[in-house]
Amino acid sequence: MCGISCIIDKNQTIDESVLSRFTDCIGHRGPDSRGVAKFANSSGFPETSQRNFPVGLGHRRLSIIDLSEAGSQPMFSTDRNFVIVFNGEIYNYLEIRKELEKEGIVFNSHTDTEVILEAYRKWGGQCLSKFNGMWAFAILDRQKRKLFVSRDRIGVKPLYYYRNGGIIAFASEIKQFFELPGFKKDPNIDACLSYLVTGYEMPPETFFKGVMSFPPGCFAETDLDSPEVKPEEFWTAEKISIGKYGEDEIISRIGEIFSASVNFRLRSDVPVGGCLSGGLDSSAIFVEMKHLQPSHTFNAFSACFDDPGIDERKFMKRVINSTGSRQIQVFPNEKDFIADMPDFFRQHDEPVGSISMYAQYKIMQAARREKIPVLLDGQGGDELFSGYWPAYFLMLKDFYRSKNFISILSHSAGTFFGGNTGLLSQAYSHLSEYRRRDARALPFTISGKYMGRLEEIKTLKWHRDAQNLTPCEYRKAEIFRIHLPRLLKWEDRNSMAFSIESRVPFLDVNLVELLLSVNPEMNMRKGWTKYLFRKAMDSKLPKDICWRKDKKGFETPQEKWMKSGVLNNYLVNWASEKEHPVSEFIADNFQDVKTKIIDGSFDATRMFRLFCMDYWLRSQF
């Protein structure tokens, strides 16, 4: 896990100091070493010591595989024609390496980076189909004067690009573009409006005008003499069709592939630990880690709270005791949040969705303190196995629309006969929350000059449009459009803030492709969400975790913090300030906002978005 940088300037006006700043401002992503390479504009793009240059590559390294100098980047191929900068991990690199060695290829390191480079030399862009991992990389072909860039299938690793005149730049984080001459930090108005009203973002657009997120599952080949960025798909979920499986067959395959996925992600030359929340997904990963390496004592990192409504320590303890692991607990609080706020928000570059992201930030900080640079995390399990409550109710609605009343009966009334009655007990609160979302109940009013613009923003219609999606369409939307992309982005920034590599076994390509070929109905039985995964882990997980009837997200006491104590006082002082950049977007007088904060008559989720957007605008522009 590292940070990459690439600058193309056909006018040769980029200065070496710009490339250095462009690379070093993300030193937190790779504290172990750094490297840059500059190339002159002549046949074969020779390396140059000139101060100005047309092509520059930079890299900050976090050493995980092959800790020696042989793994330094930018890395050159044996013939020196190809040069790579790479962020991520190719988990099946050993298998690909063996295949290449049979073809007579000799390696100079034990890194997955060199495997990518030699695979590209051998197979060109077709090499992407062989990779199982998370990645963002750029490969310079000096003879053909082309740059090949790619991002992994799900978008676990970030990659951004920006164009201005004759300059095209690729980066791991948006803050890198601030170092480019002529870069203007203008907010993307539509992204700001979308975030304020829904909390959702608008990939491939970012919150910065002109900065784009490179699409997952894509590559682009850029001609250095006439540079353009035109992403092309090498993988898409749309090509995966629903298959016919017996329940026992699919449960067995899920168990096998999940185990293989965790095993791949234990490959490391540095210590590996795990994030443990007490929920099904993180618990399953931790139990599988112990199952695969029974003699090893793993470190579990957990965010804990004394609030009874979200206290998961009894479930964490069950996993710790059953695996003989060591647990490191952190207790995020509102005082620390206020103190850490400048660093936390600066790290993310863009507004975040809630204070729960701060809890994850503190977990990563603890892992760095304990010198555990790799953590396995449960991100993606809910999206893959239809674990969120809307998926269940939309499935019932789809049955109703197709007049499939037998399925409605078996999936709803059947909860009383060996099913999860907890889903029914939570149905009212779930549906009430949905109505609040659909009504866009905000603690503020959007400015009249932007009201007409709102209807043109696709994400604003998401909750309404979702009602007409089939279960398969909704699952793909959760994974590729709405929920998962922003969760992965936030996790990357939190982990990289402390030079931690976060690995997500649920997003292994083999598991993703398998589950996308399974009818979502199979994941939901008699009120049980994630039914297939529960069955697959039934013999390994403690029963009270595997078959929990309630579901708690990764939460903090956000509402409690915001409505009382020091954070409430902080918000009152914030609302009392004279200048608020977010006033550009809202019609309310901030005195009214202050009144709501004082009397507690606000929705904490939506008020946080208002505060976060104001803070972001103030600090960035």
pLDDT, tens only, 416-469: 666 776 666 666 565 665 565 555 567 788 898 998 888 777 777 676 677 778
Does 575 have pLDDT greater than 60? yes
**Structural domain boundaries of the chain?**
2-235, 241-385+484-546, 389-472, 559-620
Q: Supply the pLDDT for residue 463.
A: 63
For residue 560, what are its two tokens? 């409690």
In whole angstroms, what is the distance from residue 613 CA to residue 395 CA?
A: 35
Distance (Å, rounded) from C-alpha 274 to C-alpha 289? 9
Model confidence pLDDT, tens digit, residues 245-290: 999 999 999 999 999 999 999 999 999 999 999 999 999 999 999 9
Cα–Cα distance measured from residue 2 to residue 63, given in angstroms and rounded to the nearest whole number: 8
Which of 580, 383, 585, 603 shows the shortest CA–CA distance to 487? Answer: 383
Please tell me which residue, 521 or 302, carries the higher pLDDT value: 302
Q: How far apart are CA 181 and CA 234, in angstroms?
A: 33
**Strand-pair category, 218-223 with 146-151:** antiparallel
The active-site residue out of 2, 127, 472, 612 is 2
* pLDDT at residue 73 in the model: 97
**DSSP label at residue 31:** B
Q: What is the pLDDT of residue 102?
A: 97
For position 423, what pLDDT does the model report? 66
From the candidate CATH numbers 3.40.50.620, 2.60.120.480, 3.40.50.300, 3.90.1200.10, the one assigned to the domain spanning 241-385+484-546: 3.40.50.620
Please report the pLDDT score of residue 375 as a whole number. Answer: 98
2 is catalytic: yes
Query: What is the percent of the chain where pLDDT is above 90?
Result: 75
The predicted structure's pLDDT at residue 291: 96
Residues 402-417: what's their mean pLDDT? 66
3-class DSSP assignment, residue 457: coil
Is the pLDDT confidence value at 414 over 60? no
Residue 415, pLDDT score: 61
Structure tokens given for 14? 């980029």
User: In the Cβ-directed half-sphere of 361, how many Cα atoms lie within 13 Å?
Assistant: 24
Instruction: State mean pLDDT over 476-500.
Output: 94
- 441: three-class secondary structure by DSSP: coil
3-state SS string over 489-537? Answer: HHHHHHHHHCCCEEECHHHCHHHHHHHHCCCHHHHCECCECCHHHHHHC
pLDDT of residue 67: 94
pLDDT in tens, 147-179: 999 999 999 999 999 998 889 999 999 999 999
Q: Which of 25, 4, 348 is nearest to 180 (CA)?
A: 25
pLDDT at 595: 95
Six-digit token pair at 462?
């998401």
pLDDT-based confidence at 44, cuts 50/70/90?
confident
For all residues of the chain together, what is the average pLDDT? 91
Q: How far is CA 318 from CA 58, 281, 311, 532, in A?
A: 45, 14, 14, 22
Q: Report yes or no: 50 and 97 within 8 Å, Cβ to Cβ.
A: no
pLDDT at 541: 96
414 Cβ partners below 8 Å, 6+ apart? 525, 526, 527
- 580-611 in b/e form (b: 16+ CB < 10 A) is bbbbebbebebeebbebbeeeebebbbbbbbb
Q: What is the pLDDT of residues 346-365, one digit of tens each?
A: 999 999 999 999 999 999 99
CA dist 279 and 259 (Å) reads 18
**Among candidate residues 479, 455, 278, 310, the one with its CA nearest the CA of residue 386:** 479
CA distance 551 to 6: 43
- Is residue 134 over pLDDT 90? yes
Percentage of the chain with pLDDT > 70?
A: 93
What is the CATH architecture assignment of 2-235? 4-Layer Sandwich (3.60)
